[in-house]
Structure formats: structure tokens, C-alpha cells
Homo-oligomer: A and B are copies of this chain.
């Protein structure tokens, strides 16, 4: 009997972010993507979230390579955290490799990494896997999907795709290859579900050119365009429009500058001679001769755009007459931050355009009609929706069923599921593999878990109150305190009466109660009840009774 073929999503199944999928055959594991996710609102104090790679660490010798579909954070962002623990070769197209290099360099990890480059359309042989790569259009150039052939058949991973009929880089999604793969037979398709709730087709990136042109034509002074640092296509559109309207372009924001430099060198960004200038040179030109492209598409407080909005940017002070374009869509959870940045931008007096108000951004992902086309071209035996929250996976699964894929061959799975193909067919085991969110906070990777988050949540809502009292070990009399330390609970300068009442309760409780083991627990109960009755708030109450 041939070995089983296994597919294991470690990230991206049930969430939009931290993508990582394993394909395993015999004693070989291929890792597709290694992305990060930005923390959800309830992950207080967390910097980023990465996939759990325990399964890989236990099988370190079996891991052949990590192959990256494209250079976005949710596909490459975990590499700096994973490589120090499992340093296997990374395969990527030239631009994707460039984006990875910029990232690894910033983490001082570039020297030790093994980066292997392939061109879109290349076939990579990593026994027992034969990996055919094919271009898919997305909001960054040089993205690919993968057809991974094993002795048990071919698994197709769509990558992040759309069927843009007029992409910025002119490179269409590779219909011919998809049709050929469909003709040869596809065992299973793993397909991008991000927009499974969006009817129709995603508008082409080209439609943004028209909006940019309208805005540039009206602009009387500088035009500032904010987007993701890795959105090379959008940066190209800014450069093209600026050149058309005789403006120079300055790039602001370190990560974007690094990416632009790299993409120019590799030939993925093109600019007419003397179009790109440094921000320091901008004062030599009239405002009407300047365009600026910068980071801040999510309104991140440290980004160039948010600093400009808060009048806190060293190089760019916005004035009435300037025009700002926010060319990005909010990642769920960032809406308030973006709205705040937009409001601040308007406060500067600038003219501001954003996607509700004008078509200055389109999604990089396929809508439902394009998702159908992917399925129809490949006609897979099995269908596994990935890269989506649970609702997107279900909607995508139902879409596949409506196209004739039998219900029993469609697998809605979340991170940690194991999908096995053997002689009997395909089986799913949910929660087969450890695949929890690994939280990165400062230097800590994975040490912040439920307990710490629960405490942070509790503290965030009602703060804490530490009650200190020192007793004489012999007599039990109070020799110090009660002292109250409280933060985040009440404004202490206005809560004198409450604090005095709290101290009184402590004295009464200690004089009535038995000393010893149960004392702190009792004090905690009594204090918590008292404080809730007085305030209807529940601070974290910590009594500390010491004896000297």
C-alpha cells in the first residue's frame, strides 16, 4: 500500500492571516507559506501572532522546504520567528525573495537563511514532491499558485488570487496552466476564500488608475498616497500617475523605502528617469510637482500617515490644499484606528479620499464568480477552502458544492485538522495536530497564554487594588497598614471616602476573622463584595497580609 498523503493547515484555516499549510507524503513534509497575523482585539498587549510549529519541530528532519506563494506579511511574516528554530530552505519567486530578504535583514537573520529562487512557471523537484508553479494575479506581483504532485495525485494550492483582466504588471492569472492541470486531474484544491461573501467579480486594479487620475487632475498642491509597504503594484500606480501629471515621487516610511529600492533593483518597479526623489529634495519643487507614497494603510499609530495626521511627522506637515489618498481596506478590527486617522487628516484641512468615498482601493482576492472559475478550470475531486474566517470557508464550500463537487468531498476544516488520502479515499480528523495561536509579545514567543490574557482583560476593565497589611506575628495586631495601592479602578484623588471605607473593612475583617490560611481568601471576598456594592466595578483584589 502506498503511504498516505496528508494535508494539515497550521494557519489560515478559519482566519485571514498567518497562513501555513503542510503537505506530507511518506517521510517528507512540504510547508507552504509562513505568515503572521495581527492580534485580535482581545489579544491585549500582543505584538503579532504566528502559527504553532510544534508538529514541524517534532519532525524536523522530514521538512524539505518552505515554499512561499507571495510576499505579503500573512504569508512571510512568521519566517523571522520560525527560521531560528527550523532552518530549512525557502523557495520563492524573485520579488517575493526580495521582500523576504528585506525582512530577514531587519531581523539580522539573512546570513543564516537558505533562499532558493524560482521563476513563475518553473517546476521544482523536492522528492517526493513535484511542484509546478503558476502565476496568479493578486495585489502584489510575482505571486504563484502551486500544483504539488505526489504518488497519490496532485494537490493544487491557489495562493492568494484573483482573475484580474487588467493587472498593473500585465501578468494574468495563468488560465492555460489551470486548464491543463484540470485536464490531467486534480486530487484536491485548496482555494482562497477571503471574499467568499462578495458576489460577482473583484474590480480590476486598473480601475484605480482612473480614480488616481481624477484626484491628481484636481489636486492643487501635494498628493500623498498611503498603502501597504509591500503593495508594489499600488506603488507602481502612484508612480505612473505622478509621471503622467509631471510630479516627482518621494517614498516615505522605512519599510516602504526598503521594498521600493529592492523592487526597483529587481525590475518589478519601473519609474521614468528622475521621477523618484528623496523627501529632502522635495522643497526644491512646487507642491504641485510632488507626490508622496507612504505607509499607513491601516492607520497604524507609528506609520507615516498616522504621524502626518497627528501633525507629528518630521518631514511632512500637511496643510490645506494638500490631497491625501488612503489606498487600502481595513483589516477587521482596525476600523476605528483608520477612522481616527481619517478624521485627523481632515482636521489638517487636506482633501482626503478613501474607499467609501471614492474607488481608490480594490481587493486583491477573488470574488465568488472568480472562485467559481478556479473550481471550474481545475474540476478537483476534493475541495478544501482555506484563507478565510469560518464563515468564508462555509460559503466557499457551499459554492463548490453548487458546482457539482459532492458534499462528502468538500472539507471545511480549521487549523490543526488532518486530511488524509489513502486507498480508501479521503478522511478528516479535526484537531489532530497542535495548531493554537502562538502569541509574540516583546521577546516572548508563546509564553503569553490564557492566564496572562485573562488577567490583562480583567485589569483593562476595572484595574486592581492591592491591600497591604502587616501584623505582629505574636499578637496579631496591625503594625503597618492597611495601605491601598490601586490603579485603573477609581480616580483615587476623588475616592478618599471609598479608600477609607476599604481600610475600615480590612481592619474589621482582620479583627473578626481567624488568622492563617483562610485569611487572605476571606479578605479578598469581603473586599470584592464591598467594592462592587459601592461602585458596580470588579477590580482585581489582592490582599497581602504579612507577619513580622
Write the residues of chain A forming the contact surface with B, with a CB cutoff of 8 angstroms. Answer: 14, 40-41, 44-45, 197-199, 332-333, 335-336, 339, 342-347, 352, 354, 356-357, 389-391, 394-395, 441-444, 447-449, 451-452, 455-464, 466, 468, 470, 479-481, 483, 485, 487-491, 494-495, 534-537, 540, 542, 544, 546, 548
CA distance A380 to B86 in the complex (A): 69
B197 and A357 contact, CB distance less than 8 A: yes
Min CB gap A478→B, angstroms: 11
Closest beta carbon of chain B to A482's beta carbon, Å: 12
- Return A456 CB to nearest CB of chain B, in Å: 4
Is B464's CB under 8 angstroms from A487's CB?
yes
A45 to B389, CA, bound (A): 28
- Evaluate whether A356 and B44 lie within 8 angstroms (CB atoms) in the complex, with A459-B460, A488-B452 already known: no
Task: Give the complex CA separation of A413 and B147 in angstroms.
Answer: 58
Roughly how many angstroms separate A352 CA and B443 CA in the complex, as a whole number?
A: 41
- Judge whether A339 and B346 touch: CB under 8 Å: no
**A466 closest partner in B (C-beta):** B466
Closest residue of chain B to A341 (Cβ to Cβ) is B391
Please give, as numbers and ranges, the residues of chain B lying within 8 Å of A495 by CB-CB distance: 447
**19 pairs from A and B in contact (CB 8 Å cutoff):** A45-B461, A45-B488, A45-B537, A198-B356, A332-B339, A335-B335, A339-B391, A346-B394, A444-B490, A447-B490, A452-B490, A455-B463, A456-B460, A459-B460, A459-B463, A460-B460, A479-B548, A487-B542, A548-B548
The one of B395, B464, B466, B470 in contact with A546, judged by C-beta atoms closer than 8 angstroms, is B470
Beta-carbon nearest neighbor of A343 in chain B = B390
A447 to B198, CA, bound (A): 45
State the Cβ distance, A80 to closest chain B Cβ, in Å: 14
Looking at the complex, which one of B339, B389, B457, B470 makes contact with A389 (CB distance below 8 Å)? B339
CA distance A444 to B537 in the complex (A): 9
Q: How far is the CA of A479 from the CA of B45 in the complex (A)?
A: 36
Give the distance in Å from the alpha carbon of A452 to the alpha carbon of B339 in the complex. Answer: 24
A395 in contact with B463 (CB, 8 Å): no
Q: Is the CB of B332 within 8 A of A336?
A: yes
Are B45's CB and A544's CB within 8 A?
A: no
Residues A487 and B470 in contact, CB atoms below 8 Å apart:
no
* Contact status B336-A460, CB under 8 Å: no
Q: Which residues from chain B contact A451 at a C-beta distance below 8 Å?
A: 491
Q: Which residues of B contact A449 (CB under 8 A)?
A: 491
Contact, CB under 8 Å: B390 / A483 = no
Q: For A347, what are the chain B residues with a Cβ–Cβ distance below 8 Å? A: 390
Among residues of B, the one whose C-beta sits closest to the C-beta of A486 is B455
A537 near B442: Cβ-Cβ < 8 Å: yes
Known A45-B460, A448-B491; further 11 A-B contacts with Cβ < 8 A:
A41-B336, A45-B462, A45-B488, A335-B335, A443-B536, A451-B491, A452-B463, A452-B489, A455-B463, A456-B488, A470-B480
A546, B482: Cα distance in complex, Å: 12
Give the residues in chain B near A357, CB-CB below 8 Å: 197, 199, 395
Q: What's the Cα separation between A489 and B44 when bound, in Å? A: 11
State A14–B340 Cα separation when bound (angstroms): 11
Give me the 8 closest cross-chain CB pairs, A-B, nearest first: A442-B536, A460-B460, A459-B459, A45-B461, A455-B488, A343-B390, A456-B488, A455-B487
| A278: min CB distance to chain B, Å | 31
CA distance in complex: A352, B391 (Å): 9
Contact of A456 among B455, B461, B485 (CB under 8 A): B461
Query: Would you give the shortest CB distance from A324 to chain B, in whole angstroms?
Result: 11
Nearest Cβ in chain B — how far from A524, in angstroms? Answer: 13
Assembled-state Cα–Cα distance A347/B468 (Å): 47
Which residues in B have their C-beta under 8 angstroms from that of A534? 443
Please, how many angstroms separate the alpha-carbon atoms of A391 and B447 in the complex?
Answer: 41
Closest chain B CB from A14 CB (angstroms): 8
Q: Are B487 and A447 in contact (CB under 8 A)?
A: no
Q: A394 contacts which chain B residues (CB < 8 A)? A: 346
- B491 pairs with A452, CB closer than 8 A: yes
Bound complex: CA of A394 vs CA of B349, how far in Å? 9
A537 proximity list for chain B (CB < 8 A): 45, 441-442, 444
In the complex, how many angstroms separate the beta carbon of A125 from the nearest chain B beta carbon?
39
- Complex Cα–Cα for A461 and B343 (A): 25
Assembled-state Cα–Cα distance A293/B197 (Å): 23
A468 (CB) vs chain B CBs: closest residue: B544
In the complex, chain B residues whose CB is within 8 Å of the CB of A548: 470, 479-480, 548
Residues of chain B lying within 8 A (CB to CB) of residue A457: 460
> With A and B bound together, what is the CA distance between A536 and B342 in angstroms?
31
